[in-house]
Amino acid sequence: MSQLVVIGGGPGGYAAAFYAADLGMQVTLVDMELNPGGVCLYRGCIPSKALLHVAKVAGEAKHAANWGLTYAEPTIDLGKLRGFKDSVVTKLTSGLGQVSKMRKITYIQGKASFVDAKNLSIEPAGGGAAQSLAFEHAIIATGSSPTRIPGLTIESDRVMDSTGALNLPDIPKTLLVVGGGYIGLELGSVYAALGTQVTVVEMTDGLLPGADRDLVTFLARRLETTLHKILLKTRVTGMKDAKNGVTVAMEGEGLADADKSQTFDRVLVSIGRRPNSKVPGLDKTGVAVNDRGFISVDAAMRTSEPNIFAIGDVVGEPMLAHKASHEARVAVEAILGHKVAFEPQAIPAVVFTDPEVAWCGLTEADAKKQGRKVEIAKFPWAALGRALAIDRPEGMTKLIIDPETERILGVGMVGAGAGENIAEGVLAIEMAALASDLKLTIHPHPTMSETMMEAAEVFFGHATHVYRPKKK
């Protein structure tokens, strides 16, 4: 009998298992991989950021010509590049395996199926007879998988999802990225930096649907120079194998007849992710799944089966590793009888393109949809000493502020290293900080972090480095 079994070893699952063990619970963690880590470490966040770092270095080498430093075109050793990416994954996942043992967690490499609300059957990853496991409580943390285009995705080695793209099978001459969200733009940027001619197709009228347009504008301008084409209001209507690639049929506003059928060496389909809620035997429990495929939970992450909890991608958006990790702590504390709820005021989102785009809390677009009166304060990075010193002035920091209370409701950033600075915005929102709090907080100079302080000063009409008097 296990006091707690966690199904899924990703950032939600292993965080739950580790925290529960720290609090004295007897824990079993079940996952198909050799060590904890999940999609994030094995096939998502970590390998993609390793490759994005390589892309950043390649981009900076080219950009250095503006400063009088000229480098030869890089020679790409694809095997060594794969090795670097894989070594990062191995170090992190093996480290988690060691930490799991130190916490005396029982780790089972296998696939779990529910027998009922108190028992599991676990099929070992290496084959062999299934083992039974009785439990008092369970946390489902099975994550998500790439979404496929219904009726369009073909079985071809040349058509990749994010997992296939991260394997770097080769450096294609041409690549079509279907979907202008963060996954498509991040991986498209990697391949473009390696020398691939990348075309992005997006059904909506802008990249990164959901992010404020003024933030996306800075990224779109740069991508127009690094990518081959960005086709908005365009959709893929068909794909078929060709002799030397994949022929793709497209429809879209302003798309010339000659461009409606194109052949690409490879196609990356990145139109989102779907929850892995089809856990075998789940129907033998009282756990409910909604019409979008997410497991239904309350604020304490408890499902409709009282002793079974669920966290992470499988319970709803945003599908982000850091959200899952925090939900994990709530679930564990609820199991231990604490009065807790997952009620964040701000969950940060970061797109690790170049420039990075990051935001948290209320967006300007959402404020308009809600009919909520807000005041926007923007500070342009072109007026920031640090941004000019590193020759990256393209960027902006914006604050969404309640005009009556002057409380910070949302923060958005775009520019070099925006993802490293958005956490201050999250803290400001969670602490119910006022614009004056940010203004009065002394920030180190010269740094990118100063943009938070300067944006707050803009709100009051007396920013040091831009002249924007307060409207009366």
pLDDT score for 26: 98
List pLDDT tens digits, range 62-79: 999 999 999 999 999 999
- pTM for the predicted model, two decimal places: 0.95
| Tokens at 216, concatenated | 């996306």
Confidence tier at 253 by pLDDT (50, 70, 90)? confident
Share above pLDDT 90 across residues of the chain, in percent, rounded to a whole number: 93
Confidence tier at 353 by pLDDT (50, 70, 90)? very high
Confidence tier at 212 by pLDDT (50, 70, 90)? very high
Cα–Cα distance, 79 to 167 (Å, whole number)? 11
Confidence tier at 409 by pLDDT (50, 70, 90)? very high
Contact 397, 466 (CB under 8 A): no
53 is catalytic: no
Domain 2-146+274-335 grouped into CATH 3.50.50.60: yes
Domains of the chain, by residue range, sit at 2-146+274-335, 159-271, 349-460
Q: Is 127 exposed, middle or buried (0-12, 13-18, 19+ CB in 10 A)?
A: exposed
Q: Each residue of 332-343: b (16+ CB within 10 Å) or e?
A: bbbbeeeebebe
List pLDDT tens digits, range 293-340: 999 999 999 999 999 999 999 999 999 999 999 999 999 999 999 999
Segment 373-385 mean pLDDT: 97
Segment 364-387 mean pLDDT: 97
For 453, the enclosing helix (H) or strand (E) is helix 450-460
Topology at the third CATH level for domain 159-271:
FAD/NAD(P)-binding domain (3.50.50)
What are the beta bridge partners of residue 28? 5, 106
List pLDDT tens digits, range 38-70: 999 999 999 999 999 999 999 999 999 999 999
| Tokens at 89, concatenated | 């994954």
pLDDT score for 145: 95
List pLDDT tens digits, range 109-125: 999 999 999 999 999 99
Say if residue 472's pLDDT is above 70: no
pLDDT score for 15: 98
Question: Do 2-146+274-335 and 159-271 fold alike per CATH?
Answer: yes
CATH number of 349-460: 3.30.390.30
Closest by CA to 178, choosing from 245, 257, 234, 247, is 234
Cα–Cα distance, 331 to 20 (Å, whole number)? 9
Check residue 181 and report its DSSP letter.
S
Say if residue 393's pLDDT is above 80: yes
Q: Which of 63, 445, 462, 465 is catalytic?
A: 445
Question: How many residues can be counted in the chain?
Answer: 472
List pLDDT tens digits, range 152-209: 778 899 999 999 999 999 999 999 999 999 999 999 999 999 999 999 999 999 999 9
